[in-house]
Amino acid sequence: MLTHVAARWLLLVGTIVAGCRADPLPISRDRAPSASPGELCLLAANDCTAAIISSDQGASFEPDKVLGCIAPAAITRAGGRDKVIATRAEQRRNHRALNTQLSADDRRFGTMHVENERPSLIDGGPITFAVVPSIITLDMPLDTRIRGRTFMLSVSEDGGKSWRFVSTLVSGSHALTRATIETMFPTFPKSASLPPPRADEALLGAGGEVLAVPDPKTGKWPWS
């Protein structure tokens, strides 16, 4: 039962949108004057990741911290500001419901860790894009943890001085596909490479050994 619930939570984690404080905008040149565009992007990604985790797990729900860093095209794609807020609120309710379910058996999820890796910058003419790979790990009871890889798409309209983000939640689908990206951003280069939206998912033991992985074709876990 526990691993089944964990798999459901990993699906929720896979729909993370990077969100950041609405004022000021995501980390900009003013906050890190000597940073390169790639460094600014990574700083903003880390800031936004912290905000979205707080939005899901914190004591209060502050949607403006999320909306402040979502690319406007992505908000439009998701159905507008109110729809994004409603989706984030649902994510928060789902997280709390899962923890309540586990707490009934005196078990609950531990800490979620998100490690954003150095982005790859992509020249899109008037827009600079960046792909930010992310490793997500969720601590579990019995010295186990769920791990998986995903990515965020970063967008800058000022030459890399400030960044906003897109991930699967605001793409209007379960995966941030090239077709979805090109619909939102027509200047996204067709030659740019993208990692898979979900990869290397595994249930790990205390020593890091792989205990289970989803089916590579269907994405389903052995217990689902």
Domain membership flag for residue 46: yes
Residue range 59-74, pLDDT digits in tens = 667 777 778 888 888 8
Per-residue confidence (pLDDT) for residue 108, from 0 to 100: 55
Residue range 127-164, pLDDT digits in tens = 999 999 988 888 777 778 888 888 889 999 999 988 99
Domain membership flag for residue 151: yes
Task: Tell me the residue range of the domain where 38 lies.
Answer: 2-212
Which of 40-44, 87-91, 127-131 holds the top average pLDDT? Answer: 127-131
Domain membership flag for residue 217: no
**Averaged pLDDT, 32-43:** 85
Share above pLDDT 90 across residues of the chain, in percent, rounded to a whole number: 14
Share above pLDDT 70 across residues of the chain, in percent, rounded to a whole number: 74
Domain membership flag for residue 177: yes
Per-residue confidence (pLDDT) for residue 25, from 0 to 100: 42
Q: Using 50, 70 and 90 to split pLDDT, how confident is the model at 195?
A: confident
Residue 120, pLDDT above cutoff 50: yes
Domain membership flag for residue 223: no
Domain membership flag for residue 26: yes
Structural domains in the chain (count): 1
Domain membership flag for residue 99: yes
Domain membership flag for residue 219: no
Three-state SS string across the chain, please?
CHHHHHHHHHHHHCCCCCCECCCCCCCCCCCCCCCCHHHHHHHHHHHHHHHHHHHHHCCCCCHHHHHCCECHHHHHHCCCHHHHHHHHHHHHHHHHHHHHHHHCCCCCCCCEEEEECCCEEEEECCEEEEEEEEEEEEEECCCEEEEEEEEEEEEECCCCCCCEEECHHHHCCCCCCHHHHHHHCCCCCCCCCCCCCCEEEEEECCCCCEEECCCCCCCCCCCC
